[in-house]
Chains A and B, each alone.
Chain A
């Protein structure tokens, strides 16, 4: 117990001490968080009318970001599986960094849900036992279970590993390996359940397709490891953590395959919808070409597809990805491309046309932009703080006997 308190003090100390660049970065993020908080307060007062959502478009930027981020959280398994199942040593050394990313991203997911609901004060209604949980009927109740479960699992695994390392002990495999394997399974469920939120909607033909869950997983496993490559490169350069090239290469090999699968799934969906030219295809036509003169999403989706294709080209061409800069651009393209394609590019066309045939365009309001940016900054802040404590522990610089040794 006393060790746990020391651990708490040590990591807090590590988080609040840092160089000039660190403070500037944290201040920068805090600025965005403050803007997000201010925007949310405004929304809290006037209601969700502060957003550009309407009855025809009942979900917008918040749920689009939520959907995308669930995938990013699930993507941590792309490090865990090679590390634990295939004993990839290079990835094993960085696996905790991936799991911490999952913790930060899941916190963002929960925040995006909170800002989206009309009565956040009634959040406790969603809690099992004390509220009234419509389980198993509602897919949203499943999502509450899997997301919180995954958060707890990752939080526990990373805390346990870092704590034992901090104490200078060997982690007891029995105390964490079963949870690691549970987390692998759980990661698949969080994204599958989130896809089922959409694909279970008979009222929305655009989502009501079996390809949706596979597409969700493929796109997550493309964008997630891409973000991990970027994060690990920054951690190596800025925090002095010796990330091996082998680890980055393994992740790159994974995204090369998953991005192709993602593009293939998307293409299959487009073909099925457009070739038969049913009325059901109206949403897809709206997304790709516009409908009745409404074409707000068209440039975004084509841009996203261009980014996806470019990323795939980088990952598949040795000449390109051997240049670290080009690789970074490729990873960035995958992260942004999937964000557009699976965020707004998936959520909004599901509502267009509406069940009564109405075509309504949607772009996020200024409030939605600020709140979303604030949550992204909050996620980056959480990950930064977690890394600030985790990296010295992993490097053996932060130990129980010498908690002052951190710079």
Chain B
């Protein structure tokens, strides 16, 4: 088995170097200055109505009255998916396919991460960003790799902003954090409108078309796993991943919360999460807890696994171990 000493990797840069083409449709909606609007405050309400229509993500009448995901039948979903596909094509010229794979009967997903071999390369962070259509401007990432001091599991002593020439650094170890898909998720409890819920296979999902953007879930999450779209996310058309799940990596708009979904559009189709495939050290393990022969089950049975912030009784499905 590989150890952390023989696997040196270049840390992947967090900042994107290229200037990204904006896929925003409107020109007038995004760049108006504050003073210009302040000057026009007399016509304020009218301006709101006018610009609101052109704002990215502004709802159509149909979308405005759209019902909650769980109230939609297959026919509704088909229409909605087609509409989203059309919208993306109109905005960015990319043909995407939206699917909605349901949880597989008898499958309970779990993740394990070997802290002994993780070398902090952050390949997972970037692979996740590409897979899940995360914007580069503003930078928004689901996985946060913490550089920890040897001898401490305390996050206050750790940093996510390490930029050495080579990783791993001496006297450090690396602890990636993403959504733990808790079985007792404080975020789901917090949401006032039921826009986020736990699926049968253990994955906590968000309906981006139902979220009101109150951020109570962001406040409630003990793992800093949820991200809010403070502005309209932009992504270069050539970087859009066209294989999209309705509850996972479809394109989001400003004003809603999102998070890691264990790549459910992949994993429910029998593939591995993108972060796992990108990991150069094999630190990441994923699978079905109910499969007695599965790797994840063996790790949980035989390794000394632990979870973060166990005292909060969130019951994460994301295990760490030194192995």
The residue of chain B having its C-beta at the shortest distance from the C-beta of A366 within the complex is B34
A54 to chain B: which residues have CB within 8 Å? 230
For the complex formed, measure the closest distance between the CB of A258 and the CB atoms of chain B, giving whole angstroms: 28
Q: Is the CB of B220 within 8 A of A201?
A: yes
A51 to chain B: which residues have CB within 8 Å? 230
Any chain B CB within 8 A of the CB of A257? no
Q: Is the CB of B186 within 8 A of A42?
A: no
Q: Is the CB of B215 within 8 A of A58?
A: yes
Any chain A CB within 8 A of the CB of B106? no
B72 to chain A: which residues have CB within 8 Å? none
Q: Is the CB of A132 within 8 A of B194?
A: yes
Any chain B CB within 8 A of the CB of A242? no
For the complex formed, measure the closest distance between the CB of A325 and the CB atoms of chain B, giving whole angstroms: 37
Stretch touching chain A among B1-9, B37-45, B274-282: B37-45
Q: Which 3 pairs from chain A and chain B are nearest by CB?
A: A118-B213, A118-B255, A357-B155
Choice from B34, B38, B192 contacting A133 with Cβ under 8 Å: B192
For the complex formed, measure the closest distance between the CB of A142 and the CB atoms of chain B, giving whole angstroms: 9
The residue in B37, B68, B232 that gathers the most chain A C-beta atoms within 10 A of its C-beta is: B37
Give the distance in Å from the alpha carbon of A53 to the alpha carbon of B48 in the complex: 23
Give a binary string over A122-139; 1 marks a CB under 8 Å from any B CB, 0 the rest: 110110000111100111
A side interface size, CB within 8 A: 59
Q: Is the CB of A125 within 8 A of B210?
A: yes
A203 to chain B: which residues have CB within 8 Å? 186, 219-222, 312
For the complex formed, measure the closest distance between the CB of A338 and the CB atoms of chain B, giving whole angstroms: 22
Q: A49-B230, A132-B68 are in contact. Are A356 and B55 (CB under 8 A)?
A: no
Q: A47-B232, A355-B155 are in contact. List 15 more A-B contacts (CB 8 A).
A: A39-B38, A41-B47, A46-B231, A55-B224, A117-B212, A118-B213, A118-B214, A121-B58, A133-B192, A133-B193, A140-B191, A141-B192, A201-B186, A204-B219, A350-B219
Stretch touching chain A among B77-85, B156-164, B296-304, B315-323: B156-164
B30 to chain A: which residues have CB within 8 Å? 45-46
Any chain A CB within 8 A of the CB of B283? no
For the complex formed, measure the closest distance between the CB of B165 and the CB atoms of chain A, giving whole angstroms: 24
Q: Is the CB of B256 within 8 A of A55?
A: no
The residue of chain A having its C-beta at the shortest distance from the C-beta of B233 within the complex is A47
Residues of B participating in the A interface, judged by any CB pair closer than 8 Å: 29-30, 32, 34, 37-38, 40-42, 44-45, 47-48, 51-52, 55, 58-59, 64, 68, 138, 144, 146, 154-158, 160, 177, 186, 188-195, 210-216, 218-224, 226-232, 254-257, 309, 312-314
Residues of A participating in the B interface, judged by any CB pair closer than 8 Å: 34-35, 37-39, 41-42, 44-51, 53-56, 58-59, 113, 116-123, 125-126, 131-134, 137-141, 144, 197, 201-204, 279, 282, 350-351, 353-358, 366-367
For the complex formed, measure the closest distance between the CB of B195 and the CB atoms of chain A, giving whole angstroms: 7
Give the distance in Å from the alpha carbon of A394 to the alpha carbon of B190 in the complex: 44
B309 to chain A: which residues have CB within 8 Å? 355
The residue of chain A having its C-beta at the shortest distance from the C-beta of B214 within the complex is A117
Give the distance in Å from the alpha carbon of A119 to the alpha carbon of B193 in the complex: 12
B45 to chain A: which residues have CB within 8 Å? 37
Q: Is the CB of A47 within 8 A of B254?
A: yes
Q: Is the CB of A144 within 8 A of B210?
A: no
A117 to chain B: which residues have CB within 8 Å? 212-214, 255
Give the distance in Å from the alpha carbon of A149 to the alpha carbon of B97 in the complex: 45
For the complex formed, measure the closest distance between the CB of A281 and the CB atoms of chain B, giving whole angstroms: 11
Can you list 25 contacts pairing A with B, beta carbon distance less than 8 Å?
A34-B41, A45-B32, A47-B254, A47-B255, A49-B138, A49-B230, A50-B34, A55-B227, A58-B215, A116-B215, A117-B212, A117-B255, A118-B214, A118-B254, A119-B255, A125-B193, A132-B68, A134-B192, A134-B193, A140-B216, A279-B154, A282-B156, A355-B223, A356-B177, A366-B34
Q: A44-B48, A121-B64 are in contact. Are A353 and B212 (CB under 8 A)?
A: no
A131 to chain B: which residues have CB within 8 Å? 193
Q: Is the CB of A138 within 8 A of B216?
A: yes
A138 to chain B: which residues have CB within 8 Å? 189-192, 216
Choice from A38, A47, A123, A134 contacting B41 with Cβ under 8 Å: A38
Q: Is the CB of A202 within 8 A of B312?
A: yes
The residue in A122, A353, A357, A366 that gathers the most chain B C-beta atoms within 10 A of its C-beta is: A122
A366 to chain B: which residues have CB within 8 Å? 34
Give the distance in Å from the alpha carbon of A49 to the alpha carbon of B137 in the complex: 12
Q: Is the CB of B224 within 8 A of A356?
A: yes
Give the distance in Å from the alpha carbon of A119 to the alpha carbon of B218 in the complex: 15
Give the distance in Å from the alpha carbon of A356 to the alpha carbon of B153 in the complex: 11
Give the distance in Å from the alpha carbon of A49 to the alpha carbon of B231 in the complex: 5
Q: Is the CB of A134 within 8 A of B219?
A: no
Q: Is the CB of B231 within 8 A of A132?
A: no
B218 to chain A: which residues have CB within 8 Å? 55, 58
Q: Is the CB of B41 within 8 A of A35?
A: yes
The residue of chain A having its C-beta at the shortest distance from the C-beta of B232 within the complex is A47
Give the distance in Å from the alpha carbon of A49 to the alpha carbon of B232 in the complex: 9
Q: Is the CB of B160 within 8 A of A356?
A: yes
For the complex formed, measure the closest distance between the CB of A133 and the CB atoms of chain B, giving whole angstroms: 7
A34 to chain B: which residues have CB within 8 Å? 41-42, 44
Give the distance in Å from the alpha carbon of A178 to the alpha carbon of B37 in the complex: 48
The residue of chain A having its C-beta at the shortest distance from the C-beta of B45 within the complex is A37
B64 to chain A: which residues have CB within 8 Å? 121
For the complex formed, measure the closest distance between the CB of B268 and the CB atoms of chain A, giving whole angstroms: 24
